Amino acid sequence: MRINKGYWIWGLFPHKETNFLNEIKAKVQSKLESPAFETHITLTGPYLNIDKSFLNKLKNFGKSNSQIILDVDGYDFKQEIFKSFYISINNSRNLKELRKNIYELNQYDLGNNYSPHISLSYGCHKIKEKKILIEKLPEFNKPIKMSKIALVEVNEDINLWKILESIDLN
């Protein structure tokens, strides 16, 4: 069962990468209707409750963990609302280690079904539209730097993705 209300930890990108990703996302969303959301990679969650202690641990986490490079596998899609169209990210050793370190702060389901990606569109879209769109987008296979983590309140029932706290990685 999917939990659609709670708190997640996202990875965010430096200004230059965010602008580049937002340009691609705008092209995608001009063809595939989507609710608005910040460009991100989901790292962990959901957490049903967050307390001040966890927030303090996250702030300290930023000081003791470095920015990481995400290896891009290319564009991809699924027939799932929140993985409708995205940039697939390699589940690298560095990404696994970062997630494991967050897990140690406040445990959550660290299951093996993690599929790292940067969403470009949410919604129900036809496969044919997605395949045509991939052909029209610029080839994208360069690494992306992840420079921040963010605590995010999510309520998918009302399309709410609210960044509560953004923390720079060292």
Chain segment 48-99, per-residue pLDDT in tens: 888 999 999 999 999 999 999 999 999 999 999 999 999 999 999 999 999 9
**HEC string of the chain?**
CCCCEEEEEEEECCHHHHHHHHHHHHHHHHHCCCCCCCCCEEEEEEECCCCHHHHHHHHHHHHHCCCEEECEEEEEECCCHHHCEEEEECCCHHHHHHHHHHHHHCCCCCCCCCCCEEEEECCCCCHHHHHHHHHHCCCCCCCEEECEEEEEEEEHHHCEEEEEEEEECC
Q: What is the pLDDT of residue 84?
A: 97
Query: Computed from CA positions of residues 7, 112, 141, 93, in that sequence, does the dihedral angle turn out positive or negative?
Result: positive
Contacts of 37 (CB under 8 A, 6+ apart): 119, 122, 159, 161
Parallel, antiparallel or unpaired: strands 148-155 and 160-168: antiparallel
Q: pLDDT by residue (tens digit) across 90-148?
A: 999 999 999 999 988 877 666 668 899 999 999 999 999 999 999 999 887 789 999 99
Specify the pLDDT at position 109: 61
Please report the domains of the chain, with CATH numbers, ordered by start residue. Answer: 5-168 (3.90.1140.10)
pTM for the model? 0.93
Q: Which residues, at least 6 apart from 115, have a Cβ–Cβ distance to it below 8 Å?
A: 83, 88, 91
For 78, what's the count of Cα atoms within 13 Å in the CB-facing half-sphere? 11
Triad 135, 17, 90: Cα angle to 5°: 65
